[in-house]
Amino acid sequence: MSFSDELRARSADLWEAQHAHPFVRGIADGTLDPRCFEHYVRQDYVFLIEYARLLALGAARAPDLETMRRFADLAQAILGEEMELHRGVARDLGIDAAALEREAPAAATRAYTDFLLRTATLGDFAELAAALLPCMWGYAEIGERLAREPAPADRPAAYTAWIATYADPEFQRLAAWSRALVDRAADGLPEAHRARMHAAFAGCSRLELAFWEMGWTRAR
């Protein structure tokens, strides 16, 4: 079993809880309250700004030029294409990009971005890579699973666009690259160091689940 599979296996309950979460199920079957989706999109926009900062720190700490370029590309892809999904959804709701940027982070959003940035600033590159993995892999897995389900005819276009973004082969490739990166980073590390990677991965998996719950309850 690869190290990333080990990480995934230890957090399996948290991952299954995400797949089963009513917010995720509501995107799939189209029944999610649009007010919940709007709240989520606003918060995710704020999240992604901080997430791009994490990737920029990853570029700064990357052990080699190839990894540095990947992190820089990833930051660019998020600030560009992924956030364009959010800007598009917001535009349809009459919310402009400046208003999105001004959104105050909810407690769950703040907790998540603080955890990521804390890991990136106080931890080392291997921990940063492990912290990044539940974001990339989790969304790739959810997107891929939802895309395989038959689409209900009355599902809002924004939900279908959301699924398509994360089911996209390019996003799937990014997730595979993140797994390989973590496996390489863990290679030859002492157990105590691997334990810190486990903690980073499990912590982020828990915060991913809390993020769905925040969207579902529209918590501030």
Ligand X SMILES: Cc1ncc(CO)c(N)n1
Does position 211 bind ligand X by CB under 6 A? yes
Catalytic entry in 82, 103, 141, 208: 208
Q: How far is the CB of 134 from ligand X (least distance, A)?
A: 8
Would you call 141 a catalytic residue per the annotation?
no
Q: Which of the residues 70 through 99 are near ligand X (CB under 6 A)?
A: 82
Looking at 43-51, 53-61, 144-152, 191-199, which segment touches ligand X (CB under 6 A)? 43-51
Verify binding: residue 44, ligand X, rule CB under 6 A. yes
DSSP classification of residue 80: I
> Which residues ranging from 134 to 163 are in contact with ligand X (CB under 6 A)?
135, 139
Nearer to ligand X, 199 or 210 (CB): 210
Q: Which among 23-31, 44-52, 100-108, 146-154 is the span making contact with ligand X, rule CB under 6 A?
A: 44-52
- Please select the residue that binds ligand X; options are 46, 48, 108, 126, rule is CB under 6 A: 48
Residue ranges in the chain assigned as alpha helix (H): 3-10, 12-20, 22-29, 34-61, 65-77, 83-92, 97-102, 107-122, 125-148, 157-167, 169-186, 191-217
152 vs 132: CA distance, rounded Å: 32
* Residue from the set 47, 137, 201, 216 that interacts with ligand X by CB under 6 A: 47
> 124 to each of 6, 19, 193, 214, how far by Cα in Å?
20, 30, 10, 29
Looking at the Cβ atoms of 44 and 127, the one nearer to ligand X is 44
Under rule CB under 6 A, residue 23 binds ligand X: no
Give me the least distance between CB of 66 and ligand X, in Å please. Answer: 22
**Chain-centre distance of CA 196, in angstroms?**
20
Question: Is residue 131 helix, strand or coil?
Answer: helix
Q: Residue 147 class from Cβ within 10 Å (0-12 exposed, 13-18 middle, 19+ buried)?
A: middle
Handedness of CA 60, 66, 71, 72 (dihedral sign): positive
Give how far Cα 123 sits from Cα of 64, 97, 192, Å.
18, 33, 13
Nearer Cβ to ligand X, position 95 or 174?
A: 174
List contacts with ligand X (CB under 6 A). Answer: 44, 47-48, 82, 135, 139, 208, 211
Catalogue the active-site residues. Answer: 208
